[in-house]
Amino acid sequence: MNSQKALIEGILFASPHPVSSAFLTELLEAPPEEIDQALRELKAEYETDNHGFLLVEVASGYQFRTKPELKELMARFYQKKPPRLTQATLEVLSVVAYKQPITRPQIEKIRGVDCTAVLKALLERNLIEMRGRSELPGHPVVYGTSEKFLEWFQIKNLADLPPLSEMEVLASREGLEAGSETLLGLLRRDDGYQIESVGEMDETLKQLAKKPAPELELQPSGDLIPSESERSSEVPQSEMIQPG
pLDDT digits (tens, 9 = 90+) for 201-212: 444 444 444 444
Give the CATH number of domain 87-232. 1.10.10.10
DSSP letter string, 148-191: HHHHHTT-SSGGGSPPPPHHHHHSHHHHHHHHHHHHHHHHHH--
pLDDT digits (tens, 9 = 90+) for 127-167: 999 999 988 888 899 999 999 888 888 888 888 888 766 54
Distance in angstroms (rounded) separating the CA atoms of residues 166 and 96: 17
**Type and span of the H or E element at 72:** helix 71-78
Residues of the chain with CATH 1.10.10.10: 4-66, 87-232
Distance in angstroms (rounded) separating the CA atoms of residues 229 and 145: 17
Adjacent-strand bridge partners of 133: 141
Q: What secondary structure letter does DSSP report for 46?
A: H
Q: What secondary structure letter does DSSP report for 220?
A: T
Distance in angstroms (rounded) separating the CA atoms of residues 155 and 119: 22
pLDDT at 178 over 90: no
Which one of 1.10.3720.10, 3.40.50.2300, 3.90.226.10, 1.10.10.10 gives the CATH number of domain 4-66? 1.10.10.10
Report field, pTM of the whole predicted structure over 0.75: no
Distance in angstroms (rounded) separating the CA atoms of residues 244 and 191: 31
